[in-house]
Amino acid sequence: MKLCRLITLDIMGTILDVCLPVGVHYSQVGAKFGLNINPQLLNDNFKKGWYEMKVKHPNYGRHTGLGWENWWKQLVHHTFVNSSLKPLDHFTLNEISHQLIDMYNHPEQWRCCDGALDFINHVHQRQIPLAVLSNFDERLEVLLENMNVRKYFRFVVGSYDVGCEKPDKRIFDLVETIARTMDDLSDIKKSEILHIGDTPELDYLPAKSAGWNAYLISKTSKDITEKYPNICKEFIFKDLHELKQVFT
Protein backbone atom coordinates (compact mmCIF):
# COMPACT_ATOMS: atom_id res chain seq x y z
CA MET A 1 0.00 0.00 0.00
CA LYS A 2 0.97 3.68 -0.25
CA LEU A 3 3.00 5.31 2.49
CA CYS A 4 0.84 5.36 5.62
CA ARG A 5 1.79 7.74 8.44
CA LEU A 6 -1.47 7.74 10.40
CA ILE A 7 -4.28 5.21 10.77
CA THR A 8 -7.67 6.28 12.11
CA LEU A 9 -10.11 3.65 13.28
CA ASP A 10 -13.84 3.64 13.80
CA ILE A 11 -14.87 1.95 17.06
CA MET A 12 -18.22 0.18 16.76
CA GLY A 13 -17.97 -2.91 14.60
CA THR A 14 -14.30 -2.33 13.90
CA ILE A 15 -12.51 -2.33 17.26
CA LEU A 16 -15.27 -2.89 19.82
CA ASP A 17 -18.72 -4.45 19.81
CA VAL A 18 -21.30 -5.39 22.42
CA CYS A 19 -20.73 -8.87 23.81
CA LEU A 20 -24.38 -9.88 23.23
CA PRO A 21 -27.01 -8.58 20.79
CA VAL A 22 -28.71 -5.43 22.06
CA GLY A 23 -32.05 -7.21 22.17
CA VAL A 24 -30.66 -9.79 24.61
CA HIS A 25 -29.38 -7.11 26.98
CA TYR A 26 -32.67 -5.25 26.77
CA SER A 27 -34.63 -8.45 27.39
CA GLN A 28 -32.51 -9.27 30.44
CA VAL A 29 -33.12 -5.87 32.01
CA GLY A 30 -36.80 -5.91 31.09
CA ALA A 31 -37.18 -9.28 32.84
CA LYS A 32 -36.19 -7.62 36.12
CA PHE A 33 -39.38 -5.61 35.84
CA GLY A 34 -41.61 -8.55 34.96
CA LEU A 35 -41.46 -8.03 31.21
CA ASN A 36 -41.11 -11.14 29.08
CA ILE A 37 -40.28 -9.73 25.64
CA ASN A 38 -38.69 -11.59 22.76
CA PRO A 39 -35.07 -10.39 22.32
CA GLN A 40 -35.36 -10.35 18.51
CA LEU A 41 -38.42 -8.11 18.71
CA LEU A 42 -36.54 -5.75 21.00
CA ASN A 43 -33.56 -5.83 18.66
CA ASP A 44 -35.71 -4.99 15.63
CA ASN A 45 -37.48 -2.13 17.39
CA PHE A 46 -34.17 -0.83 18.72
CA LYS A 47 -32.84 -0.59 15.15
CA LYS A 48 -35.97 1.23 13.96
CA GLY A 49 -35.78 3.62 16.89
CA TRP A 50 -32.07 4.17 16.35
CA TYR A 51 -32.56 5.39 12.77
CA GLU A 52 -35.48 7.59 13.77
CA MET A 53 -33.47 9.19 16.58
CA LYS A 54 -30.48 9.76 14.28
CA VAL A 55 -32.74 11.72 11.92
CA LYS A 56 -34.59 13.71 14.60
CA HIS A 57 -31.61 14.27 16.90
CA PRO A 58 -28.31 13.81 15.02
CA ASN A 59 -25.07 13.23 16.91
CA TYR A 60 -26.86 11.97 20.03
CA GLY A 61 -28.85 15.18 20.43
CA ARG A 62 -25.74 17.34 20.65
CA HIS A 63 -27.31 20.32 18.88
CA THR A 64 -31.03 19.81 19.49
CA GLY A 65 -30.87 20.37 23.24
CA LEU A 66 -31.59 16.74 24.04
CA GLY A 67 -28.10 15.62 25.09
CA TRP A 68 -26.68 12.10 24.82
CA GLU A 69 -28.20 10.71 28.03
CA ASN A 70 -31.74 11.75 27.17
CA TRP A 71 -31.10 10.56 23.60
CA TRP A 72 -30.49 7.04 24.87
CA LYS A 73 -33.36 7.32 27.33
CA GLN A 74 -35.81 8.15 24.55
CA LEU A 75 -34.47 5.29 22.44
CA VAL A 76 -34.96 2.80 25.28
CA HIS A 77 -38.50 4.10 25.84
CA HIS A 78 -39.27 3.76 22.14
CA THR A 79 -37.88 0.23 22.02
CA PHE A 80 -39.89 -1.08 24.95
CA VAL A 81 -43.14 0.76 24.20
CA ASN A 82 -43.16 -0.68 20.68
CA SER A 83 -42.23 -4.17 21.88
CA SER A 84 -44.48 -4.66 24.91
CA LEU A 85 -48.02 -6.01 24.65
CA LYS A 86 -49.02 -4.19 27.82
CA PRO A 87 -48.83 -0.48 28.67
CA LEU A 88 -45.67 0.60 30.48
CA ASP A 89 -45.67 3.37 33.07
CA HIS A 90 -43.15 6.20 32.95
CA PHE A 91 -41.43 5.13 36.18
CA THR A 92 -40.71 1.63 34.87
CA LEU A 93 -39.41 2.97 31.56
CA ASN A 94 -37.11 5.40 33.37
CA GLU A 95 -35.76 2.64 35.61
CA ILE A 96 -35.10 0.37 32.64
CA SER A 97 -33.38 3.25 30.82
CA HIS A 98 -31.19 4.03 33.81
CA GLN A 99 -30.07 0.42 34.18
CA LEU A 100 -29.30 0.00 30.48
CA ILE A 101 -27.33 3.25 30.23
CA ASP A 102 -25.34 2.20 33.30
CA MET A 103 -24.86 -1.33 31.94
CA TYR A 104 -23.02 -0.08 28.86
CA ASN A 105 -20.61 1.90 31.03
CA HIS A 106 -19.04 -1.37 32.17
CA PRO A 107 -16.39 -3.27 30.17
CA GLU A 108 -17.99 -6.70 30.71
CA GLN A 109 -20.75 -5.70 28.27
CA TRP A 110 -18.22 -5.14 25.50
CA ARG A 111 -15.72 -7.22 23.56
CA CYS A 112 -12.90 -6.55 21.15
CA CYS A 113 -13.74 -7.47 17.56
CA ASP A 114 -12.01 -10.41 15.89
CA GLY A 115 -8.36 -9.58 15.30
CA ALA A 116 -8.61 -6.07 16.77
CA LEU A 117 -5.99 -6.34 19.50
CA ASP A 118 -3.66 -8.32 17.27
CA PHE A 119 -3.96 -5.71 14.53
CA ILE A 120 -3.47 -2.78 16.91
CA ASN A 121 -0.37 -4.37 18.45
CA HIS A 122 0.99 -5.29 15.02
CA VAL A 123 0.66 -1.74 13.68
CA HIS A 124 1.85 -0.23 16.96
CA GLN A 125 5.06 -2.26 16.77
CA ARG A 126 5.66 -0.83 13.30
CA GLN A 127 5.44 2.64 14.82
CA ILE A 128 2.51 3.79 12.71
CA PRO A 129 0.49 6.22 14.85
CA LEU A 130 -3.12 5.25 15.54
CA ALA A 131 -6.09 7.48 16.32
CA VAL A 132 -9.82 7.00 16.87
CA LEU A 133 -12.39 8.66 14.61
CA SER A 134 -15.87 7.59 15.63
CA ASN A 135 -19.48 8.71 15.91
CA PHE A 136 -20.01 8.17 19.63
CA ASP A 137 -21.34 9.94 22.71
CA GLU A 138 -19.15 11.53 25.35
CA ARG A 139 -18.35 8.19 27.05
CA LEU A 140 -15.92 7.21 24.30
CA GLU A 141 -12.68 8.01 26.15
CA VAL A 142 -13.87 6.21 29.29
CA LEU A 143 -14.93 3.16 27.28
CA LEU A 144 -11.53 2.94 25.60
CA GLU A 145 -9.82 3.25 28.99
CA ASN A 146 -12.05 0.59 30.52
CA MET A 147 -11.32 -1.78 27.63
CA ASN A 148 -7.59 -1.13 28.11
CA VAL A 149 -7.02 0.07 24.53
CA ARG A 150 -6.85 3.87 24.97
CA LYS A 151 -3.05 3.65 25.44
CA TYR A 152 -2.60 2.63 21.79
CA PHE A 153 -4.11 5.81 20.33
CA ARG A 154 -2.39 9.17 19.92
CA PHE A 155 -5.69 10.99 20.09
CA VAL A 156 -9.43 10.33 20.08
CA VAL A 157 -11.98 12.23 18.03
CA GLY A 158 -15.54 11.43 19.10
CA SER A 159 -18.41 13.10 17.27
CA TYR A 160 -20.33 14.23 20.36
CA ASP A 161 -17.31 15.93 21.91
CA VAL A 162 -16.25 17.80 18.76
CA GLY A 163 -19.76 18.75 17.64
CA CYS A 164 -19.86 17.14 14.19
CA GLU A 165 -20.10 13.57 12.99
CA LYS A 166 -19.14 11.44 10.03
CA PRO A 167 -19.71 11.82 7.10
CA ASP A 168 -19.33 15.59 7.69
CA LYS A 169 -16.05 16.68 6.13
CA ARG A 170 -15.34 18.90 9.13
CA ILE A 171 -14.59 15.95 11.37
CA PHE A 172 -12.02 14.65 8.88
CA ASP A 173 -10.49 18.13 8.62
CA LEU A 174 -10.27 18.22 12.41
CA VAL A 175 -8.27 14.98 12.47
CA GLU A 176 -5.78 16.51 10.04
CA THR A 177 -5.51 19.65 12.17
CA ILE A 178 -4.85 17.65 15.34
CA ALA A 179 -2.33 15.40 13.60
CA ARG A 180 -0.35 18.39 12.31
CA THR A 181 0.12 19.70 15.86
CA MET A 182 2.35 16.68 16.51
CA ASP A 183 6.04 16.95 15.70
CA ASP A 184 6.29 13.73 13.69
CA LEU A 185 3.07 14.43 11.74
CA SER A 186 3.34 18.18 11.21
CA ASP A 187 3.81 17.79 7.46
CA ILE A 188 1.43 14.87 6.93
CA LYS A 189 -0.41 14.78 3.62
CA LYS A 190 -4.01 13.67 3.12
CA SER A 191 -2.83 10.72 1.03
CA GLU A 192 -0.77 9.47 3.99
CA ILE A 193 -3.82 8.98 6.23
CA LEU A 194 -5.75 5.71 6.23
CA HIS A 195 -9.21 5.34 7.75
CA ILE A 196 -10.62 1.93 8.67
CA GLY A 197 -14.29 1.42 9.45
CA ASP A 198 -17.25 -0.83 8.74
CA THR A 199 -19.76 1.50 7.05
CA PRO A 200 -19.44 2.65 3.43
CA GLU A 201 -21.51 5.83 3.95
CA LEU A 202 -19.80 6.91 7.16
CA ASP A 203 -16.29 5.56 6.78
CA TYR A 204 -15.05 4.60 3.32
CA LEU A 205 -16.78 7.14 1.07
CA PRO A 206 -16.26 10.30 3.18
CA ALA A 207 -12.64 9.34 3.91
CA LYS A 208 -11.96 8.95 0.20
CA SER A 209 -13.79 12.22 -0.47
CA ALA A 210 -11.48 13.90 2.06
CA GLY A 211 -8.48 12.71 0.06
CA TRP A 212 -7.54 9.91 2.45
CA ASN A 213 -7.08 6.21 1.84
CA ALA A 214 -9.75 3.90 3.26
CA TYR A 215 -10.45 0.24 4.01
CA LEU A 216 -13.68 -1.42 5.04
CA ILE A 217 -14.24 -4.25 7.49
CA SER A 218 -17.20 -6.36 6.36
CA LYS A 219 -18.07 -10.01 5.99
CA THR A 220 -20.41 -9.19 3.10
CA SER A 221 -18.12 -7.66 0.49
CA LYS A 222 -20.38 -8.78 -2.36
CA ASP A 223 -23.32 -6.78 -0.99
CA ILE A 224 -21.14 -3.69 -0.69
CA THR A 225 -19.64 -3.89 -4.17
CA GLU A 226 -23.07 -4.46 -5.70
CA LYS A 227 -24.49 -1.39 -3.96
CA TYR A 228 -21.33 0.68 -4.40
CA PRO A 229 -19.61 -0.33 -7.66
CA ASN A 230 -16.91 2.30 -7.07
CA ILE A 231 -15.67 0.46 -3.94
CA CYS A 232 -13.14 -2.12 -5.03
CA LYS A 233 -13.32 -5.55 -3.43
CA GLU A 234 -9.57 -5.37 -2.68
CA PHE A 235 -10.28 -2.63 -0.12
CA ILE A 236 -12.77 -4.74 1.84
CA PHE A 237 -11.57 -7.18 4.51
CA LYS A 238 -13.63 -9.67 6.49
CA ASP A 239 -11.85 -8.78 9.75
CA LEU A 240 -8.70 -7.18 11.11
CA HIS A 241 -6.88 -10.52 11.04
CA GLU A 242 -7.09 -10.38 7.25
CA LEU A 243 -6.25 -6.69 7.07
CA LYS A 244 -3.15 -7.25 9.19
CA GLN A 245 -1.51 -9.02 6.23
CA VAL A 246 -1.37 -5.70 4.36
CA PHE A 247 1.04 -4.41 7.01
CA THR A 248 3.46 -7.36 7.05
DSSP string of 204-242? IHHHHHTT-EEEEE-S-HHHHHHH-TTS-GGGEESSHHH
End-to-end CA distance of the chain: 11
For the chain, which domains are there? 6-17+109-247 (3.40.50.1000), 19-108 (1.10.150.720)
- The list of the chain residues with pLDDT below 70 reads 1-2
Q: Does residue 78 contact residue 49 with C-beta atoms inside 8 Å?
A: yes
**R_g of the chain computed on alpha carbons:** 19
pLDDT for the residue numbered 247: 86
pLDDT value of residue 2: 65
Please tell me the predicted confidence (pLDDT) of residue 1. 55
Largest CA distance in the chain: 61
**Separation of alpha carbons 118 and 124, rounded Å:** 10
Contacts of 200 (CB under 8 A, 6+ apart): 216, 224, 227, 228, 231
Q: What is the pLDDT of residues 227-244, one digit of tens each?
A: 999 999 999 999 999 999
Q: How many CB atoms lie within 10 A of CB 222?
A: 10
Q: For residues 189 and 171, what is the distance between their CA atoms, to the nearest angstrom? A: 16
Query: Which pLDDT does position 154 carry in this prediction?
Result: 97
